[in-house]
Amino acid sequence: MGKRKRKQFQPAHMATTNGVEAGGGDTFVTPQGQEMPAALEKYWRQRYNFFWRFDEGIAIDEEGWYSVTPEAIAEDTAKRIAQLHNQQQHNQQQLHSQRRPPKKKQQWVPDFGRICIVEAFCGVGGNAIKFAEWCEHVIAIDIDPGRLEMARHNAEIYGVADRIEFILGDFYQLAPMLKADVVFMSPPWGGPEYLGAEVFDLNKMPFHSAQEWLDRARMVSKNIVYFMPKNCDPVQLADLYPGAPCEIELNYTNGFLKAVTAYYNDVALSDEGGCNSTDRRVYRRPSHCKSIAN
Ligand code: MGP
Ligand code: SAH
C-alpha cells in the first residue's frame, strides 16, 4: 500500500486557535499568538502531556481540552490491554502442551496486538491513537462529528489513522451491533465541575449513568476498561460489574493524580510487564470486587 497523503483538516477557526474559538469572555494569548478562553489556559500548559506531537498541528476543541487522556496514561492503558493477546496465546499454548509435548523448545515471542478494541467515546483521539499503536484494530466512536474529525486528523499526525475505524454515532445505540475483545470507555463526566463534589457519584453522570454505559458495553465484550474521575468511590466503581474480577489503577502524570481506571474481567488479570510509566500506582484486588486498598 502506498503512503497516504495527510488530509488537510483546517476548519476556519483552527487557523488561529488550534480548534478552540476564543468566544467573547476572558482570553489568554499563547506565545504563538493564539487567543484562547482563559479557562483553558490550565490545559494548554499541559499540551505536551496530552500530545507530545502537539506542535505538528494537533487539533483540540474546548471539550477535547478538558477531556483528553494524558498521553502517558493512554499509552500505559493501551500496552496493558494489548497484553491480553499474550495472555490468551499463553493460555492456548499451555492447553496445547498439556495434550502433546512440543517437539522443540518454543521461544516466547511477545506479540502485542491481535486485539480488537472499541473506544466508545473517542473525543479528539487521545486514547484511540495509543490503542492503534498497540492493538490490531480500533473502532473509535464519537457522537460529535467535529471532534471525530479532529481525532482522525490527530491520528494522521501520529501515522496510525489507517488502523482506526472512525464511527460517528451514539455508543448507546451502536453497542448491540458491535463485538470486540475489549471496550474502553471514557464518557463525559459533566465538564470540569466534576471536581466540585467531594465524591463524584457515578450515577449522576450526564446522559447515562456509569451503570447504564457499562451494561451497554457488556453487549460488546465482557472485558471492559473504564476511565473515571479521581474523586469517584472505587467501591462504587468496582461494584458496577458484580462477579467480575476488577482492578483499579490510579493514574498520575508528573506526580499528580489525574484519574482512575477500572479493568474488569480478563484485562484485570493481565500482566503488568508492558507498563512502564513511573507515575502509575496500581491497587489490585486479589479476589472478586469487594473493597479497594486505601
Ligand atoms: P482535570 O479536571 O483537568 O483535573 O481532569 P486536574 O488536572 O487533576 O485538575 P486540578 O484542578 O485538580 O489540578 C484530569 C483529567 O481527567 C483530564 O486531563 C482528562 O484526562 C480527564 N477528564 C476530565 N474531565 C472533565 C473529563 C470528562 O468529562 N470526561 C473524560 N472522559 N475525561 C475527563
Ligand atoms: N478519551 C478521549 C476523551 C473522551 S471525552 C480522549 O482521550 O480524547 C468524551 C467524548 O464522548 C466526547 O468527545 C463526546 O462527544 C463523546 N460522547 C458523548 N456522548 C456520546 C455518545 N452517546 N456516544 C459516543 N460518544 C459520545
Using the mean position of ligand 2's atoms as its centre, give its distance from the Cα of residue 95 in Å: 40
Residue 71, φ and ψ in degrees, nearest 5: -60, -40
Q: Mean of the per-residue pLDDT values for the chain?
A: 82
d(CA 77, CA 248): 12
- If you take atom 15 of ligand 2, which residue's CA is the nearest one? 144
User: Which residue among 49, 62, 73, 121 has the greatest number of ligand 2 atoms within 8 angstroms of its CB, and so is best to mutate?
Assistant: 121
| pLDDT tens-place string over residues 90-135 | 555 555 555 555 555 544 444 456 789 999 999 999 999 999 999 9
Q: Which atom of ligand 2 is nearest to the CA of 127?
A: 7
- If you take atom 33 of ligand 1, which residue's CA is the nearest one? 67
- If you take atom 21 of ligand 2, which residue's CA is the nearest one? 170
Contacts 24+ apart (CB under 8 A), 53-58: 53/157, 53/158, 56/157, 57/18, 57/153, 57/157, 58/18, 58/124, 58/154, 58/157
With 50 as the cut, is the pLDDT of residue 9 above it?
Answer: no
| pLDDT tens-place string over residues 201-247 | 999 999 999 999 999 999 999 999 999 999 999 989 999 999 888 98
C-beta separation of 150 from 57 below 8 A: no
d(CA 275, CA 261): 14
Residues in the ligand 1 pocket, defined by CB under 6 Å: 66-70, 186-189, 191-192, 194-195, 227, 256, 258-259
- If you take atom 19 of ligand 2, which residue's CA is the nearest one? 143
- Out of 18-32, 139-153, 196-210, 266-280, the most confident range is 139-153
Using the mean position of ligand 1's atoms as its centre, give its distance from the Cα of residue 2 in Å: 39
User: CB 212: neighbour CB atoms within 10 A?
Assistant: 15
d(CA 66, CA 126): 12
d(CA 226, CA 264): 8
Q: Which atom of ligand 1 is nearest to the CA of 192?
A: 25
Q: Which atom of ligand 1 is nearest to the CA of 256?
A: 8
